[in-house]
């Protein structure tokens, strides 16, 4: 199908759009945390892919190539939102936060019993939105979109050890931040 | 194995890619260290919560409009002044809400 699209078959390209549009939309929304931005980015990703189809050599999966474009477009969108701050895969990843667990409180009863579905959703959204983009992106691709470590590394232009390191720290930072809400005592969030 | 060694192996443990030779050591540490047991349990919950919650849906009508806009832009490639963008504001209201 990719070869047909490269040969100029727009019908084949439309089939590819149909196949991957949801994955690209989700990836963009995870990174930007904004639905309208994700809709715009989805358009831009496929348009750019169409323009640059001849540069796709088939050394990676087509979906990984699209995800890479989506990540770049999403980070660019975040950069535009924060005109005075740089937003990149490397922003804030040097932080030590979460690298050493500090909160050992258990989450019992299960947080889902203590919070309504909408409250849970709000807590999860606020928490992941506060994560540095470089960590949020790795967590999204690996743990939510289920890309392999190698695919994530390829999509982000990182080494496999860098992906592993960022994934661990992203998971621990999210855990630590959620713990402020879900610890079994009824303390208010810090 | 101490807590620092365990933490270094945590992601491999979750992802099932841990060296089999280390698995028994990891399990033994977990049995003897309540703090690490809590970290594993709550981190697993963290991942599960996000997997369940952050499945952003793209309703079919919105997907159709997006695809149509994408293909219109592709067909007018090279003529930026004719590029057509799908305005999310024109999407059905339900498409703008999280599903």
Which residues of chain A are within 8 Å of residue B70 when distances are taken between CB atoms?
A: 17, 42-43, 46-47, 50
Smallest Cβ–Cβ distance between A124 and the set B39, B53, B77 belongs to B53
Cβ contact B74–A47 (<8 Å) = yes
Rounded alpha-carbon distances, angstroms, from residue A28 to A31, A126, B25, B55, B98: 5, 17, 40, 12, 14
CATH class of A88-190: mainly alpha
Chains A & B: contacts with CB separation below 8 Å:
124
Cβ contact A38–B74 (<8 Å) = no
What mean pLDDT do residues A37-61 have?
91
Cβ contact A43–B58 (<8 Å) = no
> For residue range A60-112, what is the model confidence (pLDDT) as tens digits?
889 999 999 999 999 999 888 765 454 555 555 555 555 677 777 777 667 77
Smallest Cβ–Cβ distance between A171 and the set B47, B69, B91 belongs to B47
Where does CATH 1.10.1740.10 sit in chain A?
2-81
Question: Mind giving me the DSSP string for chain B?
Answer: --HHHHHHTHHHHHHT-S-HHHHHHHHHHHHH-HHHHHHHHHHHHHHHHHHHH------HHHHHHHHHHHHHHHHTTT-GGG-----GGGS-GGGGS--
Cβ contact A21–B66 (<8 Å) = yes
Residue-level pLDDT at A102: 73
> How is residue A93 annotated by DSSP?
T
- pLDDT at residue A129 tops 70: yes
pTM for the whole structure: 0.78
- Please count the other Cβ atoms lying within 10 Å of the Cβ belonging to residue B25: 15
What mean pLDDT do residues B84-98 have?
44
What ipTM was assigned to the predicted interfaces of this complex? 0.79
Q: Any idea where the domains of chain B sit in the sequence?
A: 3-53, 60-96
Which residues of chain B are within 8 Å of residue A44 when distances are taken between CB atoms?
A: none
Smallest Cβ–Cβ distance between B58 and the set A25, A36, A143 belongs to A25
Shortest Cα distance, chain B CAs vs residue A34, angstroms: 10
Cβ contact B50–A100 (<8 Å) = no
In CATH terms, the fold of domain A2-81 is Rna Polymerase Sigma Factor; Chain: A (1.10.1740)
Cβ contact B49–A139 (<8 Å) = no
Residue-level pLDDT at B95: 36
Residue-level pLDDT at A89: 57
Residue-level pLDDT at A105: 76
């Amino acid at each position: 199908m990719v070869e047909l699209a490269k040969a100029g078959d727009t019908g084949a390209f439309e089939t590819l759009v149909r196949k991957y549009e949801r994955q690209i939309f989700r990836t963009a929304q995870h990174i930007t945390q904004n639905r309208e931005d994700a809709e715009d980015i989805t358009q831009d990703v496929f348009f750019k892919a169409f323009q640059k189809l001849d540069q796709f050599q088939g050394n990676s999966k087509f979906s990984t190539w699209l995800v890479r474009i989506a990540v770049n477009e999403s980070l660019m969108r975040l950069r535009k939102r924060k005109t005075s701050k740089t937003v990149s895969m490397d922003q804030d990843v040097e932080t030590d936060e979460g690298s050493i667990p500090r909160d050992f409180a258990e989450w019992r009863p299960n947080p889902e019993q203590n919070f309504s579905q909408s409250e849970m959703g709000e807590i999860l959204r606020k928490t992941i939105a506060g994560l540095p983009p470089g960590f949020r992106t790795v967590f999204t691709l690996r743990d939510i979109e289920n890309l392999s470590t190698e695919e994530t590394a390829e999509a982000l232009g990182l080494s496999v050890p860098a992906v592993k390191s960022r994934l661990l720290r992203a998971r621990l930072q999210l855990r630590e931040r959620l713990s402020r809400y879900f610890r079994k005592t009824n303390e208010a969030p810090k | 194995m101490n807590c620092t060694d365990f933490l270094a192996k945590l992601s491999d443990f979750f992802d099932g890619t841990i060296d089999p030779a280390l698995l028994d050591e990891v399990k033994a540490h977990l049995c003897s260290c309540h703090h690490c047991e809590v970290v594993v349990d709550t981190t697993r919950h963290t991942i599960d919560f996000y997997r369940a919650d952050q499945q952003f849906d793209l309703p079919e009508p919105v997907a159709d409009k997006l695809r149509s806009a994408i293909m219109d832009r592709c067909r007018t490639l090279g003529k930026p002044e004719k590029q057509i963008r799908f305005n999310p504001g024109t999407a059905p209201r339900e498409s703008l809400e999280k599903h």
